[in-house]
C-alpha cells in the first residue's frame, strides 16, 4: 500500500513553518541563551553583530551557488544541516570563541534559506497555481508559536532546550525540503542547449529597484530595535507588549490569507505603494498612541507595512528575474534589507538617546521617501515585469 505525500503546497508551507519556528526562537531568545552561558552584553553584541554582517554577505553568495548547481532543495537541506551542526558546538565545553563560531556559523548558513524557499515557492505558484501568500503565512504562524514557546522556556531558565528546539527546527526544515519534488533546472523559456537567459543583475535600472524594495522593510528599524523599550518606558506591561507584537503578526497572516485574490486586482507596485502609505501613518502616529486601543490599531498596519511590502517585493523579483536565478534575486533582496536595516538601527539608536520619539519620525520620513520613489519607478517596473 502506497502512502501519499501531502500536496506540494502543504509541503512548502511546512518548509516555511519549520524554518521560521527556529528563527522565531533564535532572534528574540538567543541573547538570553548566551547570557546564561556567561557572556557579557558587549560579547553578545559583538557576536551577533559580526554574525549579522556575515549573514548579509552570505545571503546572495550562497543563494547564487545554489542557483548555479540547480539544486535548490538539496541546498536548503545542506545549509539547514550545517547550521544545526554549528549549533551543536554549544554543547561542547569551550571558550567564548567556540560560542562565537557556533552562533556565527548558524547565522551564515541560515542566510540563504528564506531566499531559496521564496524562490521555490514562487516557482510552485507559477507552475501549479498554488498561492504563494497562503504558503508563506505558515512561516509567520511558526514564528508566533516560537515566540510563545521560547518565552516560556526562557522564563524557566532552560536555555539548552531552546538550543535543541532550534536544532530540531533546522533538521525538520531540511527534511521537508527533501520531500519536495526536484525543480527543472531551466527557467523562463530556457531549454536544454539554449542560450542562457539574460538576468537583470548587470542592468543599471535593477539596483535602484532592489534598493527601494529593501527600504520598505528597513523602515521597520525603529520598531524592531526600540519598540519594546519605548512601550516599557510608557509602563506598558510586558505581557501586553507581547500581545501587541502578536497583533501585528496576526494582521500579516490575515493579509497573506486574502492576498491571492487581491493580486488579481492589483499589481505588485500597488502593494508596495499601499505598504508605504501604511508605514507613513504607522510610524508618524506611533509616538502619539497613548492608549492600548490606539497602539493595537497601529499594530494592525503591520499587515500592510510589512506584509504588503514583502509580497510586492518578491512578486516583482519573480517577474523580472528568470526562475533559474530566482534564489540569487531573493538573496540580493535580503542583502538590501539587511544593509539598510543595519544603517537604520544605528541611526535610530543615536536618535533614541536624544529623544525616543525621533527614530519613529525618521522612519515615517523614510517611508514617505520610499513611497515617492516607488511611484516614480512604477512605470519602469511595470515595463520590466511585462
Q: Are 128 and 120 in contact (CB under 8 A)?
A: no
Residue 339 lies in a domain: yes
DSSP 184: P
Say yes or no: 57 and 106 in one domain: yes
Residue 381 lies in a domain: yes
With a cut of 80, say whether residue 236 has pLDDT above it. yes
From the list 376, 354, 307, 343, the residue with the least C-alpha distance to 139 is: 307
> What counts of helices (H) and strands (E) characterise the chain?
16, 0
Say yes or no: 153 and 27 in one domain: yes
Say yes or no: 288 and 228 in one domain: yes
The last residue of one of the domains, among 144, 179, 214, is 179
Which pLDDT score, from 0 to 100, does residue 80 have? 97
Which pLDDT score, from 0 to 100, does residue 95 have? 80
In this prediction, residues 21-28 reach a mean pLDDT of: 90
> What is the C-alpha to C-alpha distance for residues 129 and 228, in angstroms, rounded to an integer?
39
Say yes or no: 228 and 131 in one domain: no
* % residues pLDDT > 90 (the chain): 70
Higher pLDDT, 216 or 94: 216
Q: List CB contacts of 165: < 8 A, sequence separation 6 or more.
A: 21, 22, 25, 149, 150, 153
Q: For residue 257, what is the enclosing H or E element?
A: helix 238-263
Q: Are 294 and 282 in contact (CB under 8 A)?
A: no
Residue 186 lies in a domain: no
Say yes or no: 255 and 171 in one domain: no
From the list 114, 115, 137, the residue with the least C-alpha distance to 9 is: 137
CATH number at residue 99: 1.20.1250.20
With a cut of 80, say whether residue 214 has pLDDT above it. yes
Domain count across the chain: 2
> What is the C-alpha to C-alpha distance for residues 31 and 24, in angstroms, rounded to an integer?
13
Torsion of CA 244, 247, 251, 252, to 10 degrees: 70
For the chain, strand residue ranges (E) read none
Q: List CB contacts of 99: < 8 A, sequence separation 6 or more.
A: 34, 37, 39, 47, 89, 90
Which pLDDT score, from 0 to 100, does residue 194 have? 47
Say yes or no: 137 and 264 in one domain: no
Residue 198 lies in a domain: no
* % residues pLDDT > 70 (the chain): 95
Q: Are 222 and 359 in contact (CB under 8 A)?
A: yes
> What is the C-alpha to C-alpha distance for residues 36 and 210, in angstroms, rounded to an integer?
39
> What is the C-alpha to C-alpha distance for residues 163 and 328, in angstroms, rounded to an integer?
29
CB neighbourhood size of 241 (10 A): 18
Residue 216 lies in a domain: yes
Which pLDDT score, from 0 to 100, does residue 184 have? 60
Residue 39 lies in a domain: yes
With a cut of 50, say whether residue 189 has pLDDT above it. no
Residue 192 lies in a domain: no
Which pLDDT score, from 0 to 100, does residue 299 have? 95
> What is the C-alpha to C-alpha distance for residues 103 and 1, in angstroms, rounded to an integer?
44
> What is the C-alpha to C-alpha distance for residues 74 and 357, in angstroms, rounded to an integer?
46
Ramachandran region, residue 247 (left: φ > 0; alpha: ψ -120 to 50; beta: rest): alpha
With a cut of 70, say whether residue 76 has pLDDT above it. yes
Measure CA 67 to chain center.
20
Ramachandran region, residue 71 (left: φ > 0; alpha: ψ -120 to 50; beta: rest): beta
Q: Each residue of 238-252: pLDDT tens digit?
A: 788 878 888 999 999
Which pLDDT score, from 0 to 100, does residue 93 have? 84
Say yes or no: 334 and 297 in one domain: yes
The last residue of one of the domains, among 179, 196, 216, is 179
Q: Each residue of 51-70: pLDDT tens digit?
A: 999 999 999 999 999 999 99
Which pLDDT score, from 0 to 100, does residue 238 have? 76
Measure CA 386 to chain center.
27
Say yes or no: 264 and 135 in one domain: no
Higher pLDDT, 232 or 259: 259
With a cut of 70, say whether residue 1 has pLDDT above it. no
Residue 13 lies in a domain: yes
pLDDT band at 5 (very low <50, low <70, confident <90, very high): low
pLDDT band at 190 (very low <50, low <70, confident <90, very high): very low
Say yes or no: 14 and 143 in one domain: yes
Q: List CB contacts of 151: < 8 A, sequence separation 6 or more.
A: 29, 242
Which pLDDT score, from 0 to 100, does residue 105 have? 97
Range of the domain at 173: 8-179
- Indicate the average pLDDT of the chain: 90
Say yes or no: 86 and 153 in one domain: yes
Q: Are 144 and 24 in contact (CB under 8 A)?
A: yes
pLDDT band at 196 (very low <50, low <70, confident <90, very high): low
Say yes or no: 48 and 171 in one domain: yes
pLDDT band at 256 (very low <50, low <70, confident <90, very high): very high
Say yes or no: 147 and 240 in one domain: no
> What is the C-alpha to C-alpha distance for residues 381 and 206, in angstroms, rounded to an integer?
9
With a cut of 50, say whether residue 193 has pLDDT above it. no
Helix (H, G, I), strand (E, B) or coil at 111: coil
Q: Each residue of 272-286: pLDDT tens digit?
A: 999 999 999 999 999
Q: Each residue of 369-383: pLDDT tens digit?
A: 999 999 999 999 999
Amino acid at each position: 500500500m502506497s502512502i501519499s505525500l501531502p500536496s506540494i503546497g502543504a509541503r512548502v508551507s511546512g518548509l516555511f513553518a519549520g524554518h521560521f519556528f527556529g528563527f522565531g526562537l533564535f532572534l528574540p531568545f538567543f541573547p538570553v541563551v548566551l547570557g546564561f552561558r556567561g557572556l557579557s552584553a558587549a560579547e553578545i553584541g559583538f557576536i551577533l553583530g559580526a554574525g549579522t554582517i556575515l549573514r548579509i554577505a552570505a545571503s546572495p553568495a550562497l543563494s547564487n551557488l545554489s542557483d548555479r548547481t540547480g539544486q535548490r532543495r538539496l541546498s536548503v537541506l545542506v545549509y539547514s544541516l550545517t547550521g544545526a551542526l554549528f549549533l551543536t558546538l554549544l554543547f561542547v565545553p569551550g571558550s567564548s570563541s567556540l560560542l562565537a563560531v557556533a552562533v556565527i556559523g548558524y547565522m551564515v548558513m541560515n542566510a540563504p534559506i528564506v531566499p531559496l524557499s521564496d524562490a521555490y515557492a514562487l516557482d510552485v505558484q507559477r507552475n501549479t497555481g498554488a498561492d504563494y501568500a497562503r504558503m508563506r503565512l505558515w512561516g509567520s504562524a511558526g514564528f508566533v508559536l516560537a515566540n510563545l514557546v521560547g518565552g516560556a522556556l526562557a522564563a524557566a531558565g532552560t536555555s539548552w532546550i531552546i538550543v535543541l528546539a532550534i536544532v530540531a527546527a533546522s533538521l525538520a526544515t531540511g527534511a521537508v525540503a527533501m520531500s519536495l519534488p526536484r525543480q527543472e533546472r531551466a527557467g523562463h523559456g530556457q531549454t536544454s542547449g539554449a542560450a542562457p537567459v539574460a538576468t537583470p543583475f548587470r542592468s543599471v535600472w535593477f539596483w535602484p529597484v532592489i534598493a527601494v524594495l529593501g527600504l520598505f522593510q528597513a523602515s521597520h528599524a525603529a520598531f524592531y530595535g526600540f519598540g519594546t523599550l519605548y512601550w516599557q518606558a510608557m509602563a506598558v506591561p510586558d505581557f501586553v507588549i507581547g500581545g501587541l507584537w502578536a497583533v501585528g503578526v496576526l494582521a500579516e497572516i490575515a493579509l497573506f490569507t486574502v492576498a491571492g485574490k487581491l493580486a488579481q486586482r492589483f499589481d505588485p507596485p500597488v502593494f508596495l505603494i499601499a505598504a508605504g502609505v501604511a508605514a507613513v501613518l504607522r510610524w508618524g502616529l506611533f509616538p502619539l498612541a497613548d492608549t492600548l486601543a490606539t497602539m493595537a490599531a497601529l499594530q494592525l498596519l503591520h499587515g500592510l507595512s510589512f506584509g504588503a511590502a514583502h509580497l510586492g517585493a518578491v512578486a516583482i523579483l519573480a517577474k523580472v528575474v528568470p526562475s533559474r536565478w530566482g534564489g540569487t534575486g531573493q538573496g540580493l533582496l535580503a542583502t538590501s534589507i539587511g544593509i539598510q536595516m543595519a544603517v537604520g538601527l544605528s541611526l535610530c539608536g543615536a536618535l533614541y538617546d536624544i529623544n525616543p520619539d525621533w527614530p519613529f519620525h525618521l522612519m515615517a520620513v523614510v517611508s514617505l521617501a520610499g513611497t515617492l520613489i516607488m511611484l516614480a519607478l512604477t512605470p519602469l517596473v511595470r515595463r520590466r515585469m511585462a
